[in-house]
């Protein structure tokens, strides 16, 4: 039950993009086609889950016992950056088709604040355990995928719309994101 | 930088021509995430300005020592160190702001604006230009965040910098301090900004 609540909270109520504002850059950057947004979502799911697992273990068994808690930010970002590189190399070797699908998005993920954000947020969960933290990361990446894919589908339709000159490009995208976020606000109180 | 800019142009480009928020769309997460009030926007802007300035200075000073293959990780470590300093200082001296900004303080590390300036400017230019570039970009970022924060606070809670100018029981447009308001306010603000910068 607790896990279902985490899932619903992360996907709908506190959607990582639309209500917590993490990962806005890929949200606005790679959302012009549904196919690319699916690729990006897959890459985020992959990296976020592995990154949270590693950073959680690192925090629990190295940083906290040695009292080096204040090094959290530096450690986490380095781990994530190294991890992204490693995932890229391994994927290239082990599963070329998957690398083909996700490859271009992987380097972009290092500076995706959603990955670092979720790794930090996962530490603050109530009675957190490794399993719960990992589940939290997976739920959040599903939330990211949902927001990104829905947004991309709307943007594909938007190409046909007649938009005032000054609203073209960024402003209309932000406005659409705002309306989407408004829709997600309707889920408040669900959990 | 292909063309040679004067120091004044170098400073001003960050505020208007290449404004990090409205034109280059860098650092959108904190822009949207913390601007529920003008004070938070200002606080975040200044914290980012500090990190940007310090990392630009350090990168510019040691740029010739860093092998180009590991420059990005090196920049990230430099930035992360200053972010940790900001985190500790805020927690110790301005705990109220520390609570308000929350997760977005450690996330200054992944603000693409800072890494972007380190890579695109400080690693290629001398110390003085890098300081001016950082000040211009940082102030442009701070102005954008404060303006967005002020607009959301005025519309959403009827106050500015916590000074309330409508009566206690007045209805305000609560939407603007909620997440959707951030997107909508920024959308219209960038239309206005485009209009102003194009006519100049």
Taking CA–CA distances from B75, the nearest residue in chain A reads: A78
User: How would residue A92 be classed by pLDDT, with cut points 50, 70 and 90?
Assistant: confident
Q: Tell me, what's the pLDDT at B156?
A: 86
pLDDT at A103: 66
Cβ atoms within 10 Å of A101's Cβ, excluding its own: 16
pLDDT at position B1 over 50? no
Of A119, A132, A139, A102, nearest to A14 (Cα)? A139
Q: Which residue has the higher pLDDT, A105 or B185?
A: B185
What torsion, rounded to 10 degrees, do the Cα atoms A75, A76, A81, A82 define?
60
Q: Which residue has the tokens 């305000």?
A: B172
pLDDT of residue B4: 60
Q: What are B140-157's pLDDT values in tens digits?
A: 999 999 999 999 999 888
- The answer to whether the CB of A125 falls within 8 A of the CB of A133 is yes
For residue B53, the model assigns a pLDDT of 94
Cα Rg, chain A, nearest whole Å: 17
Check B109 against A171: CB less than 8 A apart: no
Nearest residue, CB atoms, A120 vs list B88, B103, B188 = B103
Which range is most confident: A64-73, A94-103, B190-199? A64-73
Specify the pTM. 0.86
Q: Which of B185, B147, B188 is nearest to A171 (CA)?
A: B188
The answer to whether B89 contacts chain A (CB < 8 Å) is no
- Give CA–CA dist B45/B139, Å, rounded: 8
Quote the minimal CA–CA distance from A94 to chain B in Å.
25
Q: Which of A21, A72, A78 sits opposite B32 (nearest CB)?
A: A21
Q: Tell me: the pLDDT tens digits for A108-157?
A: 776 678 888 899 899 888 778 899 999 999 999 999 999 999 999 999 88
Q: Are A111 and B107 in contact (CB under 8 A)?
A: no
Question: What is the per-residue pLDDT across B7-47, written as a single tens digit (0 to 9) for each?
Answer: 888 888 878 778 888 877 788 888 888 888 899 999 999 99
- pLDDT digits 0-9 by tens, B36-95: 889 999 999 999 999 999 999 999 999 888 888 788 888 888 999 999 999 999 999 999
Residue with tokens 């303080």: B105
Query: Is the distance from CB of B28 to CB of A28 less than 8 angstroms?
Result: yes
Separation CA B121–CA B140 (nearest Å): 16
Q: Quick check: B132 and B11 in contact, CB under 8 A?
A: yes
CA of B188 to nearest chain A CA: how many angstroms apart? 7
Find the angle CA(B104)-CA(A67)-CA(A53) to the nearest 5 degrees. 60
Q: Give the residue from B27, B77, B86, B107 with the most A CB atoms within 10 Å of its CB, the best one to mutate.
A: B107
Chain A residues within 8 A of B85 when measuring between CB atoms: none
């Amino acid at each position: 039950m607790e896990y279902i609540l985490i899932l619903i909270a992360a996907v709908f109520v506190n959607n990582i993009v639309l209500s917590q504002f993490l990962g806005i850059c890929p949200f606005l950057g790679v959302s012009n086609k549904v196919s690319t947004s699916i690729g990006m979502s897959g890459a985020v799911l992959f990296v976020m889950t592995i990154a949270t697992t590693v950073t959680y273990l690192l925090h629990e068994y190295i940083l906290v016992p040695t009292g080096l808690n204040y090094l959290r930010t530096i450690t986490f970002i380095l781990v994530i950056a190294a991890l992204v590189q490693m995932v890229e190399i391994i994927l290239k070797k082990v599963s070329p088709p998957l690398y083909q699908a996700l490859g271009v998005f992987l380097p972009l993920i290092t500076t995706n604040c959603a990955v670092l954000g979720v790794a930090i947020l996962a530490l603050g969960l109530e009675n957190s355990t490794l399993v719960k933290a990992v589940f939290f990361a997976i739920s959040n990446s599903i939330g990211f995928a949902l927001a990104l894919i829905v947004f991309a589908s709307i943007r594909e339709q938007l190409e046909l719309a007649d938009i005032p000159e000054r609203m073209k490009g960024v402003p209309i995208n932000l406005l659409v994101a705002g309306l989407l976020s408004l829709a997600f606000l309707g889920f408040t109180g669900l959990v | 930088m292909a063309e040679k800019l004067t120091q004044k142009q170098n400073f001003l480009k960050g505020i208007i021509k290449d404004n990090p928020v409205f034109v280059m769309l860098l650092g959108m997460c904190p822009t949207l995430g913390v601007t529920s009030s003008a004070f938070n926007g200002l606080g975040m802007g200044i914290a980012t300005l500090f990190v940007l300035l310090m990392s630009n200075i350090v990168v510019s000073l040691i740029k010739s020592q860093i092998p180009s293959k590991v420059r990005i990780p090196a920049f990230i470590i430099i930035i992360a160190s200053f972010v940790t300093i900001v985190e500790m200082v805020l927690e110790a001296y301005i705990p109220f702001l520390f609570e308000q900004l929350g997760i977005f303080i450690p996330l200054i590390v992944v603000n693409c604006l800072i890494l972007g300036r380190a890579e695109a400017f400080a690693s290629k230019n001398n110390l003085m230009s890098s300081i001016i570039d950082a000040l211009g970009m940082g102030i442009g970022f701070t102005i954008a965040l404060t303006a967005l924060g002020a607009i959301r606070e005025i519309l959403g809670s009827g106050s500015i910098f916590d000074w309330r100018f409508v009566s206690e029981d007045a209805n305000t447009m609560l939407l603007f301090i909620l997440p959707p308001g951030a997107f909508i306010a920024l959308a219209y603000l960038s239309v206005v900004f485009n209009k102003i910068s194009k006519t100049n």
